[in-house]
Structure formats: structure tokens, C-alpha cells
Chains A and B, each alone.
Chain A
Amino acid sequence: MKRIACYSAALAVCLLPCLPAVAQDYSGHTLVVGTWGGDIERLLREHVAGPLEARTGAKVEFLLGGSGDRMAKMVAERNRPTMDVTFQNIYEAPAALQEGLVVAPDAALVPNAANVWPGMNDGCYAMSLNGLGIAYSKAVFPETPEWADLWKPELKGMMAYAPYPSSEGDGMLGVAARVAGADEHNPDAAFAKLAELGSPKLSYSSLDEVLSLMDAGEIAAAPMISGYVLSNLQNYAGIGFVFPKNPGPVLVRDMVCQVANGPEPELAQMFIDLALSVETQTAYANELNFGPTNSQVTLSSEQSERVIDTPDEVASLLQLDWPYVIAQRSAWTDRWNKEIMGQ
């Protein structure tokens, strides 16, 4: 009996470091997470918020909306934030860190951050990988199009864009610049080339709206983020999606950030750690077609084909000079309004 007690004690001592650092009871605490609605919220509830609530006793509250709203909230609440975790896009995360609105990524606080592909935790923790490709109407393009095919004269005025400023709009400017033989540092070339496509038929606020019109052939094509389109293709037989090759698709990355001076820093770190875990990242890839950032994730070969999930694939993507692009935001918005929308 004494021996059993000794073994038990020894086992307990050995296992102690392996126990999750969540033994503390967080009952009565509320973690506020700002994110996008729809499937992303559902997935985060299932794979992150649910397990975190079960383990800690804390409550997770989601604030749904656009990432611009969340940036605005962080700036407005700079001295006394009410949000603990926020999901931002690839260009907002470094800007938020530069402004001191978020905590710099730290694998000592968020262990799964060490498993993220090197170099991707830029500003915040890299949550998912996507590419800006071409969603196209199969009635208009019998063969998969390249970026340059969008400039066919008969397609003038048949494009759809997301409201600007956005990753899609900036990405398309980067592509147009390269089709014109320049890059985003030459905005005159970018805007002039993009203007050749004509005023878009639609500036869409809803994915269903643009996909329905594309399915019917009313819209020829739209630059769209891969995950959103691929998850919807099964509903629209007349729509295809392609990652073009010349130039490659534009890299778009969702980031998850710990808000600086947020009320619940420990819960925020646990939430982010769960979000970066193999399980959540695998679900993101399989259910949303968002590429995982966790290098430990193994996808089926079929699913791996659909998403961006390796550093080699990332290297093949077109990466914009986001700090430069952000610095041009106001001026480019005016130019987009006048030269692209207001033709």
C-alpha cells in the first residue's frame, strides 16, 4: 500500500508539468473576442470558446463585425480596452502593433505560436492563410482564366469588387500594377491599368449577391479570397475559382491578436493558443478551406490541394508591401472612388 502511494506521488510529480496551466478557476470572468460572423464564429465557438469555457469556467463573448470596426474600437478604447482578443487582417496586425494596440506575439505565453510557420507571426499571431484568386463565371470563361484575361475588351464593366479599402482591392491593384509591368509602388500604373477594366458592375457587400450574379453570367469575374469562394462553390455550378500563375495569387492572412492591456490577458492567451492548435487549424482547413498556419497540421492530399498549407506555397504567392500600401490608404481610397468606381 505504501509502495502504491509512493508510485502515485511520483507519477503526480512527473505529470504536473504536463497539466494544462488552466487549473485556475476563472468562473465569473468574461473573455471578449472580436471576430467575423458566420462560419468563422461558429467554428471558433465549437473548437475554441467551448473547450476554453469547459476548462476554465469563464464565459466567452463574441463581438461580431468587420475588422475595421475592431481597429476603431481598439483606438477608441486605447486607455481602457473592453476587448481581449481581436481578429484582424494581414495589414492591420502590424499597424496595430506599431500603435501599441496589441501585444507582440510571444511563444512563451502562447505555446502553439512556436508551431506557426516561421516569419508569419507578423504583428499578431497568424491564424489562417488564403490567396486572392479569380472567381469566374464558367459561362464567360470556358477555360480557367489568368489575370491578363480579365482585360479582354468584351469584359469591360463586368467585374465585381469588394468595397474599398480592403485586402481584395489592394490585392487587385497589386495585380494590375504587375500586369502593367510595374508593382504597387507605382500607383499611377496600377490605377490606370485597373481603370481599363471599367467601372465594376457591382461593389458587393454580400457573398451570395455576387456569386448568384456570377453564376448567372451577369458578372464575369471577381478577385476573391480563396477560402470564402471555395466553401461556397458547391452551391454554384456555374462558378469556378483559380489561383492564377502570372502573377501568382496575392497572399492574404488572417491574424489573431491579444489586445494590449485587455481585462483578461491570461484567458486571451489561452484562447489564442487553442485557436492555433492543430485541432482548430485542421477544422479551419477542412470546413472553411482556410490554410492552416500551424506547421504540425496534416491534411488529406485532396484538401491540401485546395488550401495554401506549406511555406513553399506561401513563397509562390504575391506578397504586397503592406506597410507602403497602408501608408497610401487615404490617397488610394480617393483614387479608387474617382478612377475605378466613378468612371
Chain B
Amino acid sequence: MKPTVTALLVAPAVVLMFGVFLLPFLFLVVLSFWYQTPGSLSLDTNFTLANYARILGDSYFLGGLWTTLWLSAVVTVICLVLSLPLARWIVRRAGRSKGLLIGLSILPLVCGALLPTLGLVNLLSPLGFINGLLKSMGIIKTSLPLLGNVLGVAIGLVQAFLPLMILPLITAIEGIPVDYEKAAMSLGAPRLQVWRRVLLPLMLPGIVAGSLLVFCASLTAFVTPQVLGQGKVVTFASLAYQQAALVLDWPFASALAMVMLAFLLLAGALGAFVTRSLARSA
């Protein structure tokens, strides 16, 4: 295909990306260095680092950042632990149901964040299914606090982002010949050792990709922490929403978003570094 034809075919997507993503994003960057005039909706457009200084100088915002980071890390580890056996089972054992199971596992991705999260509210609330069941069985007398805390948010994030881990792992396992596992077992390797010495090293690119996806998605998640955290779990996305939509301090909300973006880029760079290292050592 001629370069001019290629350029023409690519042009609509480039224009669209520039207009609806890059341009607003650049504005967001600039906005984060402006300042909201106190008690007014007007913006002071002189360059300032005040918003960033406010974030870095206030233990509340740093605490919110720390909570967001470690919550994302914990969710990533839980998703990985749950997905490893599930992905292998789907690839090796599911047989004809494989397509159906893959479809079911990506269901949380296609239904959006809100509906499953509201479903979880019904499950986890003090009057919800889990507390009701435990009470009716006489195991508890007062409701367990499953909402409005980190536990509830972590449950929601794992439910929401499990598919982002499962799919890369399925791809990784599909690339490993089943004979490798059989050979290891025929030489007397216990099942755990097969996982440790054979499967996990060969699945590493998939593990890195899945972990990166889940970590980044958890870092920027808004709906799930907002609904299940009930305002009591402070994450950076919920802080940015509060500042942008309720306080109407858009420069500060933009600065919060930029800090989040910095950590996303950091996570991406780390993932790329690990992937390159793995490729070199392969």
C-alpha cells in the first residue's frame, strides 16, 4: 500500500485521538499548574507548583496515595493467586466448555463497573446476603463490616479486574506445550514443583502483563472504591472526583490526576523493564 493511502487511512484515528484524548489531556497538564482563586470559580492562570506542594506537603493526601498504592498491589497479588490455577484449569481441563468459561470470566469487563458493584453492595451490606446468611445460621449476632472499609473495596476490585489477569495468563499457558508438564511429572516432580520450576518461569511474560493491567486499573479505579468504600476509604481517584465535581477545584484535581499518572508511567516502565529482562534471559 502506498504511504499516502496509509496516511489517509490512519488520519481519522489520529485526528480523533488528538481531538478527544491528547488535546484535553494536555489541557489537564497545564491546568494542574494553575490555581483556583479561593472562594471563586475563576482560575489564576499564573504558573504555580502550589497544587503539587499541597499534595506532597499534606499527610492526608500522601496517606490517600499510600492507601491507593498498597491496595492496588494487594489486589494484584490476590488476582494473580486466584487466576493462576483457574487459567490453567480453563486451558488444560475445561475441554469444550473452554470458550464458555473464558466468556464468563470476562463478563465483569463487559458489564461495566457500576452494575456488578451495586450487586456487591447487596451481598456485602449489613442487611445483605452474606450477613443475613451468617445471622440465620447463628454464626454471628451483629453484622460484619464488609462495606466502608478496605476489605470491601478489595473484594470489589478483585471481582472487577480478575479478567485482566486471567486473559494474559490463559494466553501464556496456551503457549506452553502440555508435554513439558508431563515430562516433569514423569521424572517424579511433585505438582507444586511443576508449577514452581516449569509453569511459572514460562508464564512470566503473562504474569507481568496481567499484573501491570490489574495494578494500573486498580490504581485509577473510581466507581468501586467510591461505592464500596462509602467515603471511608480514601483513594486518589475518589479524592480527584471530590475536588473536581464537588469542590470545583479543577487545578488541584488535575494535579491529583497527574500524580496518579506518574505512578502509572512508573508501573509501565517497571513492567517494560521486567519484560525486556525476561526476553534477554530467554
Residues of A within 8 A of B (CB): 66, 68-69, 71-72, 75, 95, 99, 101, 163-166, 199-205, 209, 212-213, 216, 218, 326-330, 333-334, 337-338, 341-342
Size category, B interface: 20 to 34
Q: Are A203 and B143 in contact (CB under 8 A)?
A: no
| A to B CB contacts below 8 Å, 23 in the list | A68-B248, A72-B245, A72-B250, A75-B41, A75-B248, A95-B41, A163-B231, A163-B242, A163-B246, A164-B246, A165-B246, A166-B246, A199-B232, A209-B121, A212-B127, A213-B126, A216-B127, A218-B126, A327-B38, A328-B39, A330-B38, A333-B246, A338-B60
Q: Are B232 and A203 in contact (CB under 8 A)?
A: yes
Q: How far is the CB of B50 from chain A (nearest CB, A)?
A: 12
Q: Are A341 and B232 in contact (CB under 8 A)?
A: yes
Q: How far is the CA of A165 from the CA of B143 in the complex (A)?
A: 29
Task: List the A residue with the shortest CB-CB distance to B250.
Answer: A72
Q: How far is the CA of A333 from the CA of B245 in the complex (A)?
A: 12
In the complex, chain A residues whose CB is within 8 Å of the CB of B60: 334, 337-338, 342
Q: How far is the CA of A329 from the CA of B242 in the complex (A)?
A: 12
Task: List the A residue with the shortest CB-CB distance to B147.
Answer: A202
In the complex, chain A residues whose CB is within 8 Å of the CB of B148: 201-203
Of A72, A164, A209, the residue contacting B244 (CB under 8 A) is: A72
Number of A-B contacts (CB under 8 A): 76
Q: Name 9 extra pairs, CB < 8 A, besides A205-B226, A218-B126, A342-B234.
A: A68-B246, A72-B250, A95-B41, A202-B148, A202-B230, A329-B39, A330-B249, A333-B243, A342-B60
Residue B178 interfacial (CB < 8 Å): no
In the complex, chain A residues whose CB is within 8 Å of the CB of B275: none
Of B36, B125, B242, the residue contacting A209 (CB under 8 A) is: B125
Q: How far is the CA of A72 from the CA of B250 in the complex (A)?
A: 9
Residue B216 interfacial (CB < 8 Å): no
In the complex, chain A residues whose CB is within 8 Å of the CB of B36: 330
Q: Are A68 and B232 in contact (CB under 8 A)?
A: no
Q: Are B248 and A341 in contact (CB under 8 A)?
A: no
Task: List the A residue with the shortest CB-CB distance to B60.
Answer: A338
Q: How far is the CB of A255 from chain B (nearest CB, A)?
A: 16
Q: Are B242 and A333 in contact (CB under 8 A)?
A: yes
Q: How far is the CA of A340 from the CA of B148 in the complex (A)?
A: 14
Q: What 8 pairs between A and B have smallest CB-CB spacing? A: A203-B231, A327-B39, A68-B245, A99-B41, A218-B126, A68-B246, A165-B246, A333-B247
In the complex, chain B residues whose CB is within 8 Å of the CB of A75: 41, 248
Q: Are B234 and A216 in contact (CB under 8 A)?
A: no
In the complex, chain A residues whose CB is within 8 Å of the CB of B121: 209
- Mark interface residues in B244-263 (1 if CB within 8 Å of A CB, else 0): 11111110100000000000
In the complex, chain B residues whose CB is within 8 Å of the CB of A327: 38-39
In the complex, chain A residues whose CB is within 8 Å of the CB of B143: 218
Q: How far is the CA of A101 from the CA of B247 in the complex (A)?
A: 17
Q: How far is the CA of A213 from the CA of B148 in the complex (A)?
A: 14
Task: List the A residue with the shortest CB-CB distance to B252.
Answer: A330
